[in-house]
Structure formats: C-alpha cells, structure tokens
Amino acid sequence: MNRKVMKGIWMAAVVAATSMVSAQDIAGDWQGTLSANGGQLRLVLHISKGDNGALKATLDSIDQNANGIPVSSISLKDSKLSLGVDAVHGTYEGKFAADGATISGTWSQGQSLQLDFKRAAAPVKTEHKPAKPSDIDGGWMGSLDTGTMKLRVIFHIINTEDGLTATLDSPDQGAKGLPVTSVTRDGASLKMEAKGLGGVFEGKIAVDRSSIDGTWTQSGTNLPLVLKPVKDQSELERKRLQTRRG
C-alpha cells in the first residue's frame, strides 16, 4: 500500500474518531429560551446516542406543556448541529462550542429567532405527576371586558407533586390549552402567570371557594376578572352553543 493511500485512510480514521467524540460529547439535556412576540418559551432539547451510534433527539416546550416532540432529523458535522422538527414545521442550526457547554444558533419557524442552549447540569424534569387535588383544582371561568368586546377565559388548575399547575383557554379566540408558566398561592392569594402571553392574573380566593376575584394584567392594561368554578364540561358546551346562536 502506497503512502498516499495510507495517509488517506489515516486521515479518514481521524475524522471519523473526531465525529464520534463530538456525538458523544453533545449527548445530554440542553436548556434554552425562545423570545417571541413579547413572550418567552422555555425549551429543553434531549439528545442521545442510539445503539447504532446515530444521534436522536426530542424537544420539550415547557411553557406549552408539550413534551417529547420528535426531532425528525439531527446531524452534527464540524461542530455544526442541524435539527429538523417536522411536527411543528421548525428547523434549528447551531454551533456546538468547543468547551461542550453551549450551542448557539437560530430557530426557524415562519421567522428566524436567536436560540442558544446551555447544557443542563442534571437531567431535566419536565413532566409533573398528579397529586391529591387541592381545594381549587378544576376549571375556573370568567369574562374580560375589553371595552369593545367580552372575552371568556377558563383556567384549568391541577395540583401535582411539584405544586399547582394550570392551562388557559380563550374560547372566543379559539385558543385552548395555553400554557400558564407559574401558579403561586399564599393562603387566599393566587397568582397565575402566562409568560408566553405576557399576562398575569392576581386574585383572592373566596372563603367558600365560590369565586376568585382579581385582575388580569397584559401589555400594561389592567382588567377586572372574577373567576367562578366550572361544575362540568357540559356547562362550557352550552355556553359555546349559546354564543354561536347569538
């Protein structure tokens, strides 16, 4: 075997070994925050190495309560990470840092946005296991009077082993399951924040749990909002039908 051929084989082996090391180094959990439309979405990228040595990944959108979104394609070449997420029609192009601690790049989904990931020190937990229901678990419905229209909102509160969580519906806008990023309760005081919407609800829980009287703040505007418990799903369906007929 001549020297040129041997050199070519040796170089190929070095490149292959480097790629394998990079693939191994990038495996793990990565946390990032996507800023869009005045709100923020926390993302967690889970990268692992399959039995055949190929990379695979899933994506969690914590503030949208969407976990395990499949990453349909992933490649790492010359420290350049490329992801395709067909489920949400998104792509990501990033640079894997030499120190293995960050990935800096751009998320594209209709528009291009800066998205940087940092390696998580420990496995990231994104799912909440249910716990014994609290005294305010369930649906709470109210109406926001914007001056030009009235918009119904429904908070769905669930107690978990990590504390209270919630999602938000806006039936009159066709929105369901909007993420509530934090739920904080201190006695009768309740605060629910939806960072993705730039909105916050703060209210007082009635002693008999018949209402939560408070204020919805969004884009610098404060609107009174009184939430009342939804007894069953059929109540919501009746209200939807009444609105359509009206």
182 with 99, same domain? no
Distance CA 19, CA 145 (A): 58
Same domain, 72 and 174: no
Please indicate, yes or no, whether residues 95 and 170 belong to a single structural domain of this protein.
no
Same domain, 197 and 142: yes
- Statement to judge: residues 153 and 114 lie in one domain: no
Q: Are residues 172 and 89 in the same domain?
A: no
Measured in degrees and rounded to the nearest 5, phi and psi for residue 52 equal: -85, 5
pLDDT of residue 243: 44
Q: Across the 246 residues of the chain, what is the mean pLDDT of every consecutive 10-residue run? A: 43 40 73 80 90 89 79 93 92 94 94 94 68 94 93 93 87 84 93 86 97 95 96 57 44
Whether the Cβ atoms of residue 236 and residue 139 lie closer than 8 Å to each other: yes
Residue finishing a domain among 119, 148, 167: 119
* Residue 227 β-bridge partners: 212
Domain that holds residue 70: 3-119
Kindly state whether residue 124 falls inside one of the protein's structural domains: no
pTM for this model (two decimals): 0.54
How much is the pLDDT for 11? Answer: 40
Q: What is the phi-psi region of residue 7: left when phi exceeds 0, alpha when psi lies from -120 to 50, beta otherwise?
A: alpha
Q: Are residues 70 and 164 in the same domain?
A: no
CATH assignment at residue 236: 2.40.128
Q: Are 101 and 170 part of one and the same domain? A: no
Q: Which of 72, 89, 119 is the last residue of a domain?
A: 119
Instruction: Identify whether 125 is part of a domain.
Output: no
Predicted pLDDT of residue 5? 42
Domain co-membership, 110 together with 202: no
Q: Are residues 115 and 214 in the same domain?
A: no
Same-domain pairing of 94 and 143: no
Q: Are residues 113 and 9 in the same domain?
A: yes
**Adjacency order of strands within the sheet including 189-194:** 175-180, 163-170, 150-160, 138-145, 221-229, 212-218, 199-205, 189-194, 182-186
Structural domain total, the chain: 2
Q: What is the CATH number of the domain that holds 29?
A: 2.40.128.120
